[in-house]
Amino acid sequence: MTDLIAFLRECPIVSRHRPWPRIELDAATWQSLAARLATEDWELLALWAEPDTVHVALRDPQPGTLAVLSRACPGGGFASLSAARPGALRMERAARDLFGLVPEGLSDARPWLDHGRWPMRRPLSPAPEPRSLDEPAARATDYPFLTVSGPLAERGVLHQIPVGPIHAGIIEPGHFRFHANGETVVRLEERLGYVHKGTEKLMQGKTLADAARLAGRVSGDSTVAHALAFCRAAEAALDVKAPPRADYLRAVMAELERIANHLGDFGAICNDAAFSFILAEASLLREDVLRAAHANFGHRLMMDKVIPGGVAADLFDPGVEGLRRLVARVWKRVLELASIYDGKPSLLDRTIGTGAVARALVQRFAAGGFVGRAAGRNFDARRTPGYPPYDDLDFDVPMLDEGDVHARVWIRIREIGESVKIIQQCLDRLPAGPIATPLPARGGEGVALVEGFRGDILTWVRLADDGTVARCHPRDPSWLQWPLLEAAIEGNIVADFPLCNKSFNCSYSGHDL
């Protein structure tokens, strides 16, 4: 295995990009990168575009270096990386839809985020092309789904099940197309983009404060983590550090968010296996956590409480004690619920062995969070590359190998315990001092990797000289997890799809942007 930085040593490094280098590749080096990815273990964390440029964030797992690689493509074309890194496939399709850049060699010519209903084509390119109002809106049936070949298809025994965009519950919208052989799923294909809100375009030209509010609404369940990733990227671009007290308060909020979401998922997964008792119990605990968040930080989901330069809410003495008692009580109760979960063979019959994803696939896609860690990919952004205050805290990163629904449940349970430990340490060591630092208005480029409850969020930002956002790309962990759900369900029964889907709990909004 070659060292990523050694491979790139001949290429120019962009100044004012922090904390990891951004390296400019010429056409030949990008082309050789596309070839080298087939043999190297470099992980593709994100791929995004600007007018005339495509960027890719890579991570070399040994020694853990990160770099952003940029390829200027004034002609509009760049060599596709998706043959060796299939996680890039939808990202490249999105870059084509939004910017009109052409991923050369990409076999999939279908649009991804563009459903043919926006008033223009290529909305983020310098010259979007208006779509005529006389043009009939694209019909949902126009999208050519992948088909199944082979003996089953030839015998005509397969049937298709279209599901969505509106699903039968309080869930985000998206379309799932199943090919089934009786009860058994032969192929699932997702079609997403229904909740595309144009967030990246809205961020352009905004002040840091306004853009942070948008970042906090990329995926509402990860509002703290997305705001944190945006703020850390902006602070890196400006070469400014948030005060130590803000770092600790950010961690308290981020871990409360993780606990609340893991509780919600634990309950919902059990409920999808028809064991509503744990849903009722876990939803009580979740509500207790949200009420504590409201009491201490002023918002149940802690929206807009992580701000560029620090945090918008401080923690005071009675609140500290209350949080200490709350997290101890939550963990005690979760352990009781976990033993109930483990003691129900009829429940375990649904979760063990269901929706398994192989470790090789998780690594190939660099899938983060409980999806990766339940299948043997030992990665947590809080540990590597790490960021304050986690470098000073003692916590474990739980890992399992089975990659099934059961493993994803248990990763969540154990992560609640670790988050409790982290919050207790943060409350014990909360440094005195200011909770925010003023930010200068100047240009720069920054990138941040932050561990949300769902997995690692990578946010890249370029600030204009007046300090406003010129371009921002928040990459939700779901981008690298959604494709694996298609693999997880293969060979399972249709009736287990809600269970598999809930155990992944990918964000539609975070992906669609």
Contacts of 247 (CB under 8 A, 6+ apart): 388, 389
328 binds another protein (CB under 8 A): no
Beta bridge partners of 104: 79
Tell me whether residue 221 or residue 445 sits nearer to another protein (CB atom): 221
Query: Using the 8-state DSSP alphabet, how is residue 157 labeled?
Result: -
123 binds another protein (CB under 8 A): yes
**At 55, is the secondary structure helix, strand, or coil?**
strand
Residues 9-68 within binding reach of another protein (CB under 8 A) = none
Interface pick for another protein out of 86, 220, 385, 386 (rule CB under 8 A): 220
190 binds another protein (CB under 8 A): no
166 binds another protein (CB under 8 A): yes
Give DSSP secondary structure letters for 398-427: ---S--SHHHHHHHHHHHHHHHHHHHHHHH
Interface pick for another protein out of 68, 88, 252, 301 (rule CB under 8 A): 301
What does the alpha-carbon distance between residue 218 and residue 172 come to, in Å, rounded to a whole number? Answer: 13
Phi, psi (degrees; rounded to nearest 5) at 187: -150, 140
Interface pick for another protein out of 85, 213, 245, 350 (rule CB under 8 A): 213
Beta bridge partners of 326: none
Tokens at 387, concatenated:
């960021």
177 binds another protein (CB under 8 A): no
Stretch of 241-249, 299-307, 395-403, 405-413 lying at the interface with another protein (CB under 8 A): 299-307
Tell me whether residue 159 or residue 197 sits nearer to another protein (CB atom): 197
Contacts of 26 (CB under 8 A, 6+ apart): 11, 71
284 binds another protein (CB under 8 A): yes
Nearest to 95 by CA among 129, 128, 47: 47
Q: What share of the chain is helix, strand, coil (3-state, %, to 5)?
A: 45, 20, 40
What does the alpha-carbon distance between residue 147 and residue 139 come to, in Å, rounded to a whole number? Answer: 19
281 binds another protein (CB under 8 A): yes
286 binds another protein (CB under 8 A): yes
Beta bridge partners of 71: 25, 54
Stretch of 112-120, 152-160, 431-439, 441-449 lying at the interface with another protein (CB under 8 A): 112-120
Q: Cβ 95 to another protein, closest distance in Å?
A: 16
Interface pick for another protein out of 47, 94, 158, 214 (rule CB under 8 A): 214
* Residues near another protein (CB under 8 A): 115, 117-120, 123, 128, 137, 140, 165-166, 168-173, 193-199, 201-202, 213-214, 217-221, 223, 264, 280-281, 283-284, 286-287, 290, 294, 300-301, 303, 336, 340, 343, 507-509
